[in-house]
Amino acid sequence: MQQVNVGLIGGGTVGGGVFRALDRNGDLLAARTGVRIRVHRVAVKAFDEPRKVAIPESMLTTDWRAVVEDSGVDVVAELAGGTTVAREMILTALRLGKPVVTANKALLSAHGEALFAAAAKAGTNLYYEASVAGGIPIIKALRDGFVGNRIPHLYGIVNGTCNYILTRMQQEGAGFDEVLKEAQRLGYAEAEPSLDIDGWDSQHKVGILASLAHGFWVRPDQIHVEGIRGVTPLDIRFAGQLGYTIKLLGVVKSVPDRRSERTGGEAPVVVAVYPALVPNAHVLASVQDAFNAVFVRGDLVGDTLFYGRGAGQDPTASAVLSDLVDAARDWIHQTPRRIPPFVPHASKGRVLPLADAVSRYYVRLAVVDRPGVLARVAAILGRNRIGISSVIQPEGHPGGSVPLILMIHDAPNRSMARALRQMGRLAAVKAPPVVLRVETFA
Amino acid sequence: MQQVNVGLIGGGTVGGGVFRALDRNGDLLAARTGVRIRVHRVAVKAFDEPRKVAIPESMLTTDWRAVVEDSGVDVVAELAGGTTVAREMILTALRLGKPVVTANKALLSAHGEALFAAAAKAGTNLYYEASVAGGIPIIKALRDGFVGNRIPHLYGIVNGTCNYILTRMQQEGAGFDEVLKEAQRLGYAEAEPSLDIDGWDSQHKVGILASLAHGFWVRPDQIHVEGIRGVTPLDIRFAGQLGYTIKLLGVVKSVPDRRSERTGGEAPVVVAVYPALVPNAHVLASVQDAFNAVFVRGDLVGDTLFYGRGAGQDPTASAVLSDLVDAARDWIHQTPRRIPPFVPHASKGRVLPLADAVSRYYVRLAVVDRPGVLARVAAILGRNRIGISSVIQPEGHPGGSVPLILMIHDAPNRSMARALRQMGRLAAVKAPPVVLRVETFA
């Protein structure tokens, strides 16, 4: 039996989970693959920090270089997170020709291109299945399973915290702040929740998915991001009445334009994160709680869904273990030195800013309840050549204003922004319009 | 750009689909992988058979050996089906050291073990992503993505024809024969439908999934099979009232027994195909029409679902293309000769006959509507130490008998079979009991 020694960087939730998973399922893994994967050394922040998974003290060090540069360490797993030191850790390991496994979506989002170039230069490889959607093997599915497909669109519920909050809000009719507090108490949300609820974590992940679907890295500043702080129980309720569920989606859409149609070349892509209305009949609407799901349309395969736990100690360990097997085989056979690894995001492409694309919309206005208001709103939309597909104006709502809900056909986002500004200036409109996109997956 | 020449065996739906997919997406595939995959020769049944996808006549031959043995053919794709000549085709190609891609579940189910042994002996590899669930990359997910997981259970809706028929029966309240005829007219069912509706196709697929989940080949005769001919609109309706949907499931369950618990060794597995009641809240209940889905629980990853089109020209081509990329890289780098391929079903294991396992049940009896009948039925179950979880006896059903529906707790299948025989002998029971299993995915 061949043995491969792994150096873990990080002994917390993810690192501890990988350590325990190798301890528990290492024999199974060895029987299945013919390779014994053994943890050799573990870099931690401090010797005396509390650890749920016990790691023998003899393996611990607080110096990550002592792990990466240890000649006994064949493969490095960077499970510490962060984007500064983590980058240095990974680059150091790659330069030593050691395959690296990482779960670090923030780092890949910011520096993926450079990291893969460094791996190629050093004749080794970088694995990142755990970086998106936890244990769901979506990286392998896009890279290998769908290698023969163009991907017209891909929609992911890739942040478990947001999906948990939106599910609770829907089921309990409760407000965002209240549910966030409950989620924090239960450990579903961080004390500093911005990374999750403002959409940044989804942004990192959707950038990685876009790179796999379209073959080139999309920079974070090319990805439009809206979080879920503005989603209210009222909008969840109205969406429900209209047959929709509100989900935070990561979106990667291929949008043919004049240039791609004229030249037959690749269409530009829209990459974005926003809360959207999803038809209840669509499979993504029924993804609840902290679960993740990625809905992928391939031109050959048609519509597919991958569903599972997007975070947590064991699901993440599942993904890291699968990468460790690939990395271990790379190391044993020195594969990337002899066989150029297939880097699925080495080509070039174009990103279309969301502002230049077309969307469907749900708009909720708070208007004074008097005749003529709808006519004025409709006139603004008409002048901007935007079509209304339906209107709801609930009766008998208490207070000085009533909600007016408009469902808007495909509208150029710039025209829509202009129309919303004009509506906001109407005297009868009492608060800034609430605006959410609607996805039909057509 | 390196080029790999493929020999296709089969120019029908699947073969034609692969030919067209390579024509349409070959440039994309080459850009992504650095390998140009080119069809070199195609074996067909007859030159003049009608073909929806045009293949240049210069490529055609009616002699499969002319394809397999052609020194210009590097990789062979067996897409003809069948279990006799197809076996010979694959063995011939493997013996020549050529990697083989196949979609042939029936052949793998019957001869998988021998075929993989032949591939290993010849220093090459056999790929079969298209054999289960069409374009859904479930083979790769189990083999690679979940390599670090034990798989306590796996449930698959893997036959699109059956799922289409059951969906239509549920939505229209129509009978099996009527819906089957409609499915045949629409091309969702074959003129000779037995392979699908009697569960044999699902049997082939579930055997392959079991081999991946548990590391050893399960023989077809070890797989209990029931089809959907016996499912009636009445049972679909009662199941609905109880909160369930009837689906044909392929089941692979690990069932710890005294031996595995005493020794700490691997538990035996139940492998079966049967129509079952699935709770409406479970994600498998919402898989409709001809779609397939595989629900996999891993001990690390937790619950996951893979969903997509399980058949059809393009989805199957998607899976074949992904395998062709692996096979092409094998060929270019002669990988399996230097690096022992990871054969995920090379170990040994035990199969527990379904008769020796425990199931939950839905039982519908047609009984004479008079006092004391339920007491007699309950007494039989009591004597066999079988618990009832609920009873429905609809009122006012026309005719001489009324239905009596029993939901049965976990019951040893042998005890249940005995109880059913005893119930059938009651004078008040007017027809053989209708029995379906209930899955709770606990």
Cβ–Cβ below 8 Å for B326 and A150: no
Cβ neighbours for A296, distance < 8 A, ≥ 6 positions apart: A141, A142, A146, A151, A154, A213, A303, A304, A305, A306
Quote the domain boundaries for residue A434: 358-438
pLDDT at B213: 96
With an 8 Å Cβ cutoff, are B148 and A325 in contact?
A: yes
- Residue B83 sits at the chain A interface (C-beta within 8 Å): no
- Residue A346 has a pLDDT of 80
Q: Are residues B111 and B223 in the same domain?
A: no
Tens digits of residue pLDDT in A359-397: 999 999 999 988 889 999 999 999 999 999 999 987 765
Residue A108's pLDDT is: 97
B104 CB-near residues (< 8 Å, 6+ apart): B78, B79, B80, B81, B82, B83, B86, B90, B128, B131
Whether residue A352 lies inside any domain: the answer is no
As beta bridge partners, residue A126 has A100
The whole model's pTM is what?
0.96
Nearest CA-CA distance, residue B418 and chain A, Å: 39
Q: Based on the fold, state whether residues A81 and A200 are members of the same structural domain.
A: no
Q: How far apart are CA A125 and CA B125, in angstroms?
A: 23
Catalytic residues of A: 205
B167/B266 same-domain check: yes
Q: Which residues of B touch A144 (CB under 8 A)?
A: 137, 140, 144, 322, 325-326
Taking 70 as the threshold, does the pLDDT of residue A399 lie above it?
no
Tell me what percent of the residues of chain A surpass a pLDDT of 90: 88
Verify whether the Cβ–Cβ distance A25 to B300 is below 8 Å. yes
Which residues in chain A are closer than 8 Å to B129, comparing Cβ atoms? 145
Asked whether residue A345 is assigned to any structural domain, the reply reads no
Q: What is the pLDDT of residue B339?
A: 77
Exposed e or buried b for every residue in A159-169, given b needs 16+ CB within 10 A?
bbbbbbbbbbb
Q: How many domains does chain A have?
A: 3
The reply to whether B347 falls in a domain is: no
Any idea what the Cα angle at residue B217 is, between residues B6 and B347, rounded to 5°? 105
Q: Output the domain CATH number for residue B72.
A: 3.40.50.720
Q: Closest Cα to residue A245, out of A281, A290, A273, A279?
A: A279
Closest CA to A199 of A226, A230, A229, A222: A226
Reduced to 3 states (helix: H, G, I; strand: E, B; else coil), residue A73 is coil
Asked if residue B351 belongs to a domain, the reply is no
pLDDT at B397: 57
For chain B, first and last CA: distance in Å?
51
Q: How far apart are CA A337 and CA A123, in angstroms?
A: 5
Domain boundary pick from A289, A309, A329: A309
Summarised one tens digit per residue, pLDDT across range A223-249 is: 999 999 999 999 999 999 999 999 999
Residue A1's pLDDT band (cuts 50, 70, 90): confident
CA of A407 vs chain B CAs: smallest distance (Å): 27
**Spatial CB neighbours of B398, under 8 Å, sequence gap ≥ 6:** none
Q: Are residues A118 and A7 in the same domain?
A: yes
Q: Tell whether B338 lies on the interface with A, counting CB pairs under 8 A.
A: yes
User: Is B224 within the bounds of a domain?
Assistant: yes
Q: How many CB pairs under 8 A join A and B?
A: 196
Mean pLDDT, residues B262-272: 93
Q: What is the pLDDT of residue B193?
A: 96
B52 plus B198 within the same structural domain? no
Q: Which residues sit opposite A60 in a β-bridge?
A: A42
**Pairwise CA distance, residues B406 & B391, whole Å:** 5
Q: Tell me the CA distances in angstroms from B132 to B103, B140, B310, B319, one per residue in order.
A: 8, 11, 7, 10
Structural domain contains residue B345 = no
Q: Which residues pair with A4 in a beta bridge?
A: A37
Same domain for A220 and A319, yes or no, is no
pLDDT of B398 strictly over 60: no
Mean pLDDT of A421-441: 95
Please check whether residues B291 and B321 belong to one and the same domain.
Answer: no
B347 has a chain A CB within 8 A of its CB:
yes
B284 touches chain A (CB under 8 A): no
Report the range of poorest mean pLDDT among A298-302, B177-181, B235-239, B344-348.
Answer: B344-348
What pLDDT score was predicted for residue B314?
Answer: 97
Give residue-wise pLDDT tens across range B138-150. 999 999 999 999 9
> What does the pLDDT look like over A127-181, one tens digit per residue?
999 999 999 999 999 999 999 999 999 999 999 999 999 999 999 999 999 999 9
CA distance B29 to chain A (A): 6
CA of A29 to nearest chain B CA: how many angstroms apart? Answer: 6
Instruction: Please indicate, yes or no, if residue B350 is contained in any of the structural domains.
Output: no
- Residue A54 distance to chain B (closest CA, Å): 18
Query: In terms of domains, do A380 and A317 share one?
Result: no
* pLDDT, tens digit (0-9, with 9 covering 90-100), for B200-256: 999 999 999 999 999 999 999 999 999 999 999 999 999 999 999 999 999 999 999
* CATH number, position A167: 3.30.360.10
Same domain membership, residue A378 and residue A330: no
Residue of A nearest to B295 (CA): A307
**Which of B4, B19, B304 to substitute to test the interface with A, most A CBs within 10 Å?**
B304
Q: Would you say residue A34 has pLDDT above 70?
A: yes
pLDDT average, residue stretch A70-91: 97
Residue B244 lies in a domain: yes
pLDDT mean over B162-180 = 97
Q: How far apart are CA B6 and CA A419, in angstroms?
A: 56
Nearest to A305 among B21, B33, B307 (CB): B307
CB-based contact B333 A339, cutoff 8 Å: yes
Same domain, A304 and A407: no
Could you give phi then psi for residue B45, rounded to 5 degrees?
-70, -45
Q: Are residues B168 and B278 in the same domain?
A: yes
* Confidence grade of residue A344 (pLDDT, cut at 50, 70, 90): confident
The predicted-structure confidence for A105-130, as pLDDT tens digits, reads as follows: 999 999 999 999 999 999 999 999 99
Residues 131-190 of A with CB under 8 A from B: 134-137, 140-141, 144-150
Check whether residue B295 and residue B319 sit in a common domain. no
> What CATH number should be reported for the domain holding residue A365?
3.30.70.260
Distance CA B363, CA B434 (A): 6
User: Does residue B137 carry a pLDDT above 60?
Assistant: yes
Contact B147 A29 (CB under 8 A): yes
Is the ipTM value over 0.90, yes or no?
yes
Minimum-distance CB partner of A338 among B29, B32, B333: B333
Is residue A409 within 8 A of residue A387, CB to CB? The reply is yes
State chain A's mean pLDDT as an integer.
Answer: 95
